[in-house]
Structure 1
Amino acid sequence: MTRPDPPALAPYLDRLREVPFVRDVALATPPAQGTLGPNTVLKLKTPRRTFPLAVDLKRTFLDRALTNAIIAEHGARLRNRGLPLLLLARYIPRPTGERLAEAGVNFVDQPGNIHLALGDDHHVLLLGRRAPTTETTARRPGPALVKLHFVLLVESEAMTRPVRELADEAGIGKTAAATGLQRLARLGVLGRNQASAYRLVDRRRLADDFLRGYAEVLAPHLEVGRFRAPERDPEAFLQRLAGTAAKMHVSWAVSGTPAAYLLNRFYRGNDLPVFVEGSTQTLQRALRLVPEREGPITLFRAFGRRWLWQVIAGVPVAHPWLVYAELVRQGEPRALEAAELTRDQYLTS
């Protein structure tokens, strides 16, 4: 007996079945209780062989940051498991589709834009089909909601605490915390248990929304500016920063590629994102930082109580979720590889 397609996947599987060389499409393992987990695998049968593909369903708009994360995940799955990714999305615009196809990512959306590269014999790329005109764009989140995303990713149990404590953890107001929880519940990211307490239902959606929100809203909101220091060597600057901040009793932490290098020893870029608690003006003067539009040093205002993670080799490191989001925002190929290493080692549960 043929098992019916899960409702969330049916529109995409129908599009796949329209491809001439596709003979059959089926899930290798039916998702538990209709939910799609990170290990959901789709089997796509062609005249010559059957190809397993790792399913990644995105319910949000694919902006640059989320596209970067998808490309990084695709590369990591190929390296670690030899399993290519199949992206399912409501709509993939032509520029995004071209970028995904160039990176080798298989995808299909509801209007029928599609890219499949299966072995040497089966390839299709169709772009330009437009999204339905009835599709609406979700209201853009504010910085407070993105901060709440971050805290819930760091510790999902935080949502069960009194709103005042949750707000303090995120560095936002009580009203913003309460309305943020309600919005996440309306979106299906959170649910309610029998005692009416919030519980996390869709962690993947929460992570996607945080990555988008960090790149589009939170990072620009927190950014103090970009600077250049007297030192050309980033390590020399970090040593002076550590000494100066200690004398001034200022908490700080690196993010981005320097933090990723401390976490996984893979890639150390030229950029130097730094979170700083409190006012940065006195610290800027003490460090003799010169504002520069393309300067390698970016100062961000710290927020809440979870931004600082650990001290590694004498250097404070921001929480891996902030490090990961900054790497994805940068979008360089090696930064994306470092992002996936960081995610695999520190952010998968």
Structure 2
Amino acid sequence: MPNLISIPPEPLLQAAESALPKGLGLGWEVVPGTVGLGESGDRLAIRWEDREKIYQLVVRRIHRAEDLGRIKASRPPAEDFLLLTPYLTENLARKCVELGIPFLDGAGNAYLTAPGLRILQVGEHPKPDLLTACVPRSFRPYNSKGLQVLFTLLSAPALTNATYRDLAKASGVARGTVGMVLNDLLEAGLLADLPGGRVIIHFQRLLEAWVANYPQKLRPRLGPMKFRMAIPQDWRSVDFASIDAFVSGEAGGDLLTANLQPMGARIYTRQPFGKIAAALRLRPDPRGTIELLERFWDFPNPKAIPPGVAPPLLVYTDLIASGEPRNLDIARIIHETYLNPPGTGS
């Protein structure tokens, strides 16, 4: 997913004004507005001769034509909006014209049309200083700590409206991290702060992003260590809850679906790994099929989840990340059974 982070409009407008040809008779002013879903809420009043047109500002970095199509599709048909961006290539600028998207960029490329006004300028070269100044920060819900917050929102929907303190405790992060992650989700239009409370707007999109980012960004930070069983045992007979552990991977998938003969397991715990290894009769082995990791969440599972099984999103992700074809059908069953947006049921 792209970095959907707000860029201040003023530097871009100043750059556009200095780059456009003189004598156009244009003037503009940013009109602050209320915060909307994924937008600053700001509007841009453009004036020429004795006329004025007010646009809703959409401030974005554009990398490909699909970005323009997504913006166009997401706006109400009757809304007058203007794209403000650091730079558009000539091909992207002409795509804007084709889609009927008015735009300004910091290089002086522009497309504006209204009664008595038509400006089309494309092919201007970017300004490196401006592009550097407008490089967005990373999308914090997808860094390691942000993924912990996102995991809580997706796995425990009842906590979506919790206080920052409670969300921080459930996610294992600082309160400041919770605030930054929620702000990024709000700015990206992935979370809405409505009168009735916070609502996840794109549940499946966020779920897919969590699944894609967890193996590379969060899992390596959980101190994973591999083991093998000293004595074969039936995972279904293990009381994971009694040893303060949560099972995932193939063993977790079997406990959720009763439809898999597990060859391995991932076990999350806050206990010393040596204590868990002793309880389960495990031996260290870098090529073992059992992996111990630090537990990073602190909220209860729904009653439908067997005690000692990790939240279904984590079981699903571990199965997908295994790369084993036999695990994909089990992952699909878990997705269909447990990973539904709040209020939609199975």
Q: Which structure 2 segments of 5+ residues have no match?
A: 1-63, 78-130
Task: Indicate yes or no: 2:208 matched with 1:200.
Answer: no
Q: Secondary structure at the match of 2:260?
A: coil
Q: Which structure 1 segments of 5+ residues have no match?
A: 1-9, 16-29, 35-133
Alignment CA distance shift 1:11-1:280 (3 Å): same
Deviations for 1:303-346, whole angstroms, at most 9, x for unmatched residues?
A: 23236566978x62111111111111112112111100111111
Write the distance in 2 (CA, Å) between the matches of 1:138 and 1:164: 24
Write the distance in 2 (CA, Å) between the matches of 1:33 and 1:304: 39
Residue of structure 1 in register with 2:277 after alignment: 284
Contact 1:309–1:318 (CA<8 Å) still a contact in 2?
no
Shift of residue 169, structure 1, vs aligned partner:
1.4
Task: Indicate yes or no: 2:270 matched with 1:269.
Answer: no
TM-score after normalising by structure 1: 0.54
Q: Secondary structure at the match of 2:167?
A: helix
Q: Superposition pairs for residues 1-349 of structure 1, below 5 Å?
A: 138-139=138-139, 141-194=142-195, 197-231=197-231, 233-235=232-234, 239=237, 242=239, 246=242, 250-306=243-299, 316-348=308-340, 349=344
Superposition CA RMSD, Å: 3.6
Shift of residue 227, structure 1, vs aligned partner:
0.5
Alignment CA distance shift 1:166-1:311 (3 Å): same
Write the distance in 2 (CA, Å) between the matches of 1:308 and 1:346: 11
Provide the identity percentage: 24
Alignment CA distance shift 1:260-1:31 (3 Å): farther
Write the distance in 2 (CA, Å) between the matches of 1:307 and 1:318: 10
Contact 2:236–2:255 (CA<8 Å) still a contact in 1?
no
Write the distance in 1 (CA, Å) between the matches of 2:305 and 2:210: 25
- Opposite residue 337 of structure 2, the aligned amino acid is Q
Contact 1:274–1:298 (CA<8 Å) still a contact in 2?
yes
Q: How many residues align?
A: 220
Shift of residue 181, structure 1, vs aligned partner:
0.8
Deviations for 1:110-151, whole angstroms, at most 9, x for unmatched residues?
A: xxxxxxxxxxxxxxxxxxxxxxxx999955733221111111
Write the distance in 2 (CA, Å) between the matches of 1:308 and 1:294: 31
Q: Secondary structure at the match of 2:291?
A: strand
Alignment CA distance shift 1:221-1:307 (3 Å): farther
Contact 1:267–1:338 (CA<8 Å) still a contact in 2?
yes
Shift of residue 267, structure 1, vs aligned partner:
2.1
Write the distance in 2 (CA, Å) between the matches of 1:281 and 1:311: 30
Q: Secondary structure at the match of 2:309?
A: strand
Alignment CA distance shift 1:226-1:330 (3 Å): same
Write the distance in 2 (CA, Å) between the matches of 1:157 and 1:33: 31
Shift of residue 182, structure 1, vs aligned partner:
1.1
